Structure 1
Amino acid sequence: MINILQIGFGPLGIQIGKYIAQKSTIKTVVGVDINPDLKGKLLSDIGTNLSNDVIVFSSVKEALNSLTIKPDVAIITTVSSLEKLIPQIEEVAKFGIPVISTCEELSYPWKLQPELSKQLDEICKKHNISCLGTGVNPGFLMDYLPSVFTSISKEIEHIYVERVQDATPRRVPFQQKIGAGLSLEAFKTKEATGTLRHVGLQESVYLLANSIGLELDEVTESLEPVIAETSVASEAIKVQKGEARGVEQIAHGYKNGICKIKMHFKAAIGEPRSFDKVTIKGVPSFTSEIDGGINGDIATCAITINCINSVLKAPAGLQTMATIAVPGFIN
């Protein structure tokens, strides 16, 4: 049995807890959340289908002191910011517990945040643990998966990755993060604070480039609202005509002035067609498309769990999806 320390019980953490509860070879043994309303509660008090004998504590130290065994892995589902995440990882690292996190900036921080990456790598090596940032995107669909496709390429001229999704069934925090339901003025105001966007698109470009040995000279990114032409709604958010129903981001990776990697991300409530698509121009040239797309919430929870064995085998230090052993389904 692989024992899990879970940190963070927002919608994603709760869903991961439910998936773990369905497994026969892994188990959440203790939980941590800074929300004072959750302190001392059982997981079963937080959500149905969660363990009924697991208590939530407000700190890692308290949580581990309550156990007679040390957890094998910590799963952290708290923040998107690497800077905010590092103290949380360090708190776990001191107890010699490897970490898997859904923090988007952790997926490949080496280029955009080199000093923080070095700091975290040193923390992990000091305490002899591995640390991985993963998820459906970044972490799989727009970076790791395309890198796997390049394995059959003799030559590569250009890689174009597209993820277009209807955000209607996604969790509410995701819909809020893409600006659904905001006026254009409010959208631009929130965009200026850096809190409105899909986090991780540039990280995906750099991860893919690194996986194929491509040293990019420049990566650019644009962000625009997707405007509702008619009123649309999800279960939680109503969008009026003229308001933003989501976001569209495009990133380009250049080498010697030539675009070698392009990534197109679009997520909006009421989007008529969802799909994930990778196009590689080279020898051979080909396109692979997942019609209907992959549900991001389900896939992020699944891949976080399914990377556990790979992380347990990984050497100490800051890892990426490209540096761990290929993950697979945990029954």
Structure 2
Amino acid sequence: MINVIQIGLGPLGQQIGKYIADKNQVQTIAAVDISEDLKGQDFGQLSVGETSGVLIENSIEDALENLQKKPDVAILTTVSSVKKLESQIENIVKHGIPIVSTCEELSFPWTEHPELSDRIDAICKKNNVACLGTGVNPGFLMDYLPSVLSSVCKDIDSVVVERFQDATPRRIPFQKKIGAGLSLEAFKAKEQTGTLRHVGLKESVYFLAQCIGLKLDNVTEDLNPVLAEEDISVSSMDIKKGDARGVEQISHGYVDGTCKIKMHFKAAIGEPRSFDRVTIKGVPSFVSEIDRGINGDIATCAITVNSLKSILKATPGLHTMSTVSVPGYLN
């Protein structure tokens, strides 16, 4: 049995709690969130509507004080920024607890945040534990999966990864993150603050480049709203014609002026077709497509839980999905 402490109990943390409750090999034995309104609530009641005896605390220290034994691993579902996550990681690993986190920037922070990455790696090694950033995207569909597919190639000229998804069934925080329902002016304003985008696209480019041995000399990223061509009404919101129904982001990785990696992400309410597609030009050249795509909310929770065994086997330090053992379904 893998004993877990869950830290961050928003929609994602609660959903992960539901998934763990259905598992035979994993159990949540402690839960932490900074919300004072949640303190003292039963986590089972919050996540699955059943009493679990696990009371939510506002700090790791308070949560650990009530336990007879230390958790085997922490699931950290709090922020997307690795800068904001650093102190949280340090506070966890000083207790000798390894981490699996859904922080998008943690999936491959080495290029954008090299000094911070070194600090996290060092503090994990000092405390003899491992730390992993994962998720469906980044963490799997647009980086780890194409790196695995590249294994059958003798030569690679370029890789194009596309993720198009209808955001209608996604959780409301995700819909808001991609700007669905905003006027064009409001969309542009939020874009300027950096709070409106799919986080992790560049990290996916850097991850894949490292896996296939490319030294990129330039990486670009463009972001644009996907506009509604007619009024749209879904359960979570009403979108007027001309307003944003989502976002489109494209990142290119270049070597000597030639595009070697292209990442194309599009998520919008009412998108007519969902799919995940990897196109590799090389020897051999091929296209691999997942029709209807992978539901991001389900897959993010699933891969987080399914990666627990991998991080428990990993050597101390900061890891990516390419440096831990291959995760598989955890019963």
Normalised to the residue count of structure 1, the TM-score between the two structures is 0.99
Superposed counterparts of 1:22-61, under 5 Å: 22-49=22-49, 52-61=52-61
Alpha-carbon distance in structure 2 between the residues aligned to 1:132 and 1:234: 36
- Deviations along 1:264-294, whole A, 9 cap, x unmatched? 0000000010000000000000000000000
CA distance in 1, matches of 2:37, 2:264: 40
Partners of 1:110 and 1:117 within 8 A in 2: yes
In structure 1, list runs of 5 or more residues that go unmatched: none
How far did residue 50 of structure 1 move?
5.6
What is the deviation of 1:184? 0.4
**Aligned partners of 2:50, 2:96: CA distance in 1, in Å?**
26
Partner of 1:180: 180
What is the alpha-carbon distance in structure 2 between the residues aligned to residue 97 and residue 13 of structure 1? 18
Q: Aligned residues: percent identity?
A: 65
Contact 1:180 1:268 in 2 (8 A): yes
Q: Is 1:79 paired with 2:84?
A: no
Counterpart residue number, 2:220: 220
Deviation at 1:49, TM superposition (A): 4.7
Shift of 1:6: 0.2
Cα distance in 1 between the residues matched to 2:23 and 2:85: 27
Q: Is the 8 A contact 2:166 2:268 kept in 1?
A: yes
Q: Secondary structure at the match of 2:186?
A: helix
Identify the residue that residue 243 of structure 1 maps to in structure 2. Answer: 243
**8 Å Cα contact 1:233/1:269 also seen in 2:** no
Match of 1:109 in 2: 109
Where does the alignment leave 5 or more consecutive residues of structure 2 unmatched? Answer: none
CA contact (8 A) 1:310 1:325 kept: yes
1:230 Cα shift? 0.8
CA shift for structure 1 position 51: 5.6
* DSSP 3-state at the match of 1:29: strand
Q: CA RMSD in A?
A: 0.8
Q: Is contact 2:17-2:47 (8 Å) kept?
A: no
Q: SS state of the match for residue 321, structure 1?
A: coil
Question: 1:115: Cα distance to partner?
Answer: 1.2
Q: Distance in 1 between matches of 2:50 and 2:213?
A: 43
State the AA in 1 paired with 2:230: T
**Residues 49-77 of structure 1 deviation map (CA, whole Å, 9 limit, x = unaligned):** 56622111000000001001000000010
Q: Which residue of 2 aligns with 1:155?
A: 155
Deviation at 1:119, TM superposition (A): 1.1
1:47 CA drift (Å): 3.0
One-letter identity of the residue aligned with 2:125: K
Contact 1:21 1:50 in 2 (8 A): no
Across the two proteins, how many residue pairs are aligned to each other? 331
Output aligned runs, 1:118-137, within 5 Å: 118-137=118-137
Whether 1:262 and 2:262 are equivalent positions in the alignment is yes
